[in-house]
Amino acid sequence: MSRNALVAILGMVVFLVVAGAFYLEIAAASRATDLVWMTTQPVQSGKPLDQGNVQRTRVPRAGTALDLYTGDLRKNPMRAAHEMSAGTILFSHDVLSDNNQALVNLTLRTPPALSPGQRIDVYAQQGSQTMLVGQGLTVEQISGNNGTNASVWVNVEDEAYWIAVQSGSTVTLYAARSNGVGVTKNGGVTQQDALRALAGFSTGVPASSPSPSPTPRKP
């Protein structure tokens, strides 16, 4: 056998070995799975995630790294960050840890109809200024006449602020049920600011826009 033929055969063997290893790796990756947590029934926002409503299951591994929740919900139940339907795969942002959440009680003035698990935006009125101070807070419990006392979950680093606001006699708290879309924080508005804005937007014309002039008639 000539030297060239031997080199060609060896090259072919090397190619087959490399190609075989490559395809075996692809085949193994296609069969790879991740162990994940999945809800077994609908879960309300703020409710515990434990062995009563979640279970372990395997799903095919994605091509990119996913931020799946990896804690043990059977040993350390956590809370749902938002409402979820049955069969939802849990990611890190779906789970609230009690380690970074605090439950505070707020006295609300003329709140809308509320129930546990709903999310609310909280506004504080002091003097002539009203500002958004809490956004997307989860309601844990409602009590009092017309639901004026609401226990809500807040970030633990804000706990002292909420207690200080609640304990003051010059601040009145209001709540709105909201999905948060389009709601932005503001530095405080007065009633006159709000009336001017609402009067303009109610007609579809911004409050600062001048009234349209009539079209002149031709002689």
pLDDT digits 0-9 by tens, 117-157: 888 999 999 888 899 999 888 888 898 887 789 999 898 88
- Is 129 in the same domain as 85? no
Q: Which of 127-131, 180-184, 190-194, 205-209 has the lowest mean pLDDT?
A: 205-209
For the chain, what is the domain count?
2
- pLDDT over 70 (residue 1): no
Which CATH number is 84's domain given? 3.90.1210.10
Structure-model confidence comparison of residues 90 and 83, the more confident one? 90
* pTM listed for this prediction: 0.59
- Is 112 in the same domain as 194? yes
- Is 117 in the same domain as 197? yes
Residue with tokens 């709540």: 175
Residue 212 lies in a domain: no
- Residues 6+ away with beta carbon under 8 Å from 29: 61
pLDDT of 207 reads 45
Please check whether residue 62 is in contact with residue 108, taking contact to mean a CB–CB distance below 8 angstroms: no
Residue 209 lies in a domain: no
Distance CA 118, CA 54 (A): 21
Q: Give the DSSP H/E element, type plus range, for residue 68.
A: none
Residue 10 lies in a domain: no
pLDDT of 173 reads 94
Task: Kindly indicate the confidence band of residue 37, based on its pLDDT and cuts at 50, 70 and 90.
Answer: very high
In this structure, the strands spanning 129-143 and 78-80 are unpaired
- Is 83 in the same domain as 108? no
- Is 90 in the same domain as 143? no
Residues spanned by the domain of 179: 102-202
Please check whether residue 155 is in contact with residue 98, taking contact to mean a CB–CB distance below 8 angstroms: no
Residue 74 lies in a domain: yes
DSSP result, 87-123: TPBPBGGGEE-GGGEEEEEEEBSSPPP--TT-EEEEE
Please check whether residue 37 is in contact with residue 69, taking contact to mean a CB–CB distance below 8 angstroms: yes
pLDDT of 106 reads 94
- Is 81 in the same domain as 146? no
- pLDDT over 50 (residue 203): no
Look at residues 46, 77, 96 and tell me which one is the last residue of a structural domain: 96
- Is 79 in the same domain as 133? no
Distance CA 52, CA 213 (A): 66
pLDDT of 218 reads 56
Q: Is the four-CA dihedral 122, 127, 130, 133 of positive or negative sign?
A: negative
- pLDDT over 90 (residue 34): no
- Is 118 in the same domain as 170? yes
Task: Give me the percent of the chain exceeding a pLDDT of 70.
Answer: 74
